[in-house]
Structure 1
Amino acid sequence: MEIKTNQATKNRPEGNRVIDAPYVFIDIPRFVEQLKNEKSWEKNDRNGITVFKSSGMTMVITALKSGAVLNHQRMEEFFTLQVMQGEIQTETDGKIIQSIQGQIAVFHPNIAHTILALSDSVLMMTTYVCP
């Protein structure tokens, strides 16, 4: 298996990291600290980092400031959303659901949803394609 890495960028100079290999260990607290210490967090209402990416699955840790909105229109993949810190509100299919730390939501493909951060929050979002 080919090992894939992300390269450093101007906005993320310490960005070199393995994102796909036979095994990938993810230090969530370190990534959350990194997100909240970057200039993007100071300037914007969100900041995110891809921590795993293969041909069928992507995992992203996203920090949201209170009031930030993520509008996902009909994603083609399965989607999971784990609240790691804070509180969010998800609107989907005419329903509004509030979620707090430790809760997970799972969406089948093509289910539109909108996420509102009710407080500063950290989410682990995963998309994956089922064979």
Structure 2
Amino acid sequence: MENKSNDATPQRPEGERILNAPLVEMDLNAFINQLKNEPTWKEGDRNSVTIFKSDTMRIVLLGLHENAELKSHKANGVISVQVIEGEVVFTVDEHASFLKKGQMVALHENIFHSVKAVKESFFLLTLAMSNK
């Protein structure tokens, strides 16, 4: 397997973050600090960074300011949402799951859902791509 890194972007000009390799080490605290120090976080209601990306799985660290919301949407694979800091409301249809640090949910593909931060929150979104 060839190691894959991200390209430099205006948001993250340093580039060279390993996204896929036989072993990818991820320091979530360092990524949270990075997100909090970027203009997107300071000027907007959210920020995110992809920390692993392969043909079959993607892991994204997302941060939401208090009351920020990811409006109803669906994913093309099975997902999990694991709260690292804060508290979010994960809603599917009429069911709302209140998730705090250390709690998570899993959801099958193509189910509409939304996420709203009750307070400043950071969570891991893991997407397992569908083989269909």
Instruction: Name the TM tier (shorter chain).
Output: over 0.9
The CA deviation at 1:85 is 0.3
The match for 1:4 is: 4
The match for 1:62 is: 62
Report the Cα distance in structure 2 between the residues aligned to 1:71 and 1:89, rounded to whole angstroms: 12
The match for 1:87 is: 87
Report the Cα distance in structure 1 between the residues aligned to 2:57 and 2:80, rounded to whole angstroms: 11
Please give the root-mean-square deviation of Cα atoms over the aligned residues, in Å: 1.2
Report the Cα distance in structure 2 between the residues aligned to 1:15 and 1:85, rounded to whole angstroms: 26
The match for 1:122 is: 122
The CA deviation at 1:130 is 5.3
The size of the alignment, in residue pairs, is: 131
The match for 2:74 is: 74
The CA deviation at 1:120 is 0.2
The match for 1:21 is: 21
2:76–2:130 CA contact under 8 A, matched in 1: no
Report the Cα distance in structure 1 between the residues aligned to 2:10 and 2:79, rounded to whole angstroms: 30
The percentage of aligned residue pairs carrying the same residue is 37
Report the Cα distance in structure 2 between the residues aligned to 1:11 and 1:73, rounded to whole angstroms: 25
* Residue type at the aligned position of 1:96: A
Report the Cα distance in structure 1 between the residues aligned to 2:8 and 2:64, rounded to whole angstroms: 22
> TM-score under structure 2 normalisation?
0.94
The match for 2:43 is: 43
> TM-score under structure 1 normalisation?
0.95
The CA deviation at 1:19 is 0.1
Q: Which runs of 5+ in 1 are unaligned?
A: none
| Higher mean displacement: 11-20 or 102-111 | 11-20
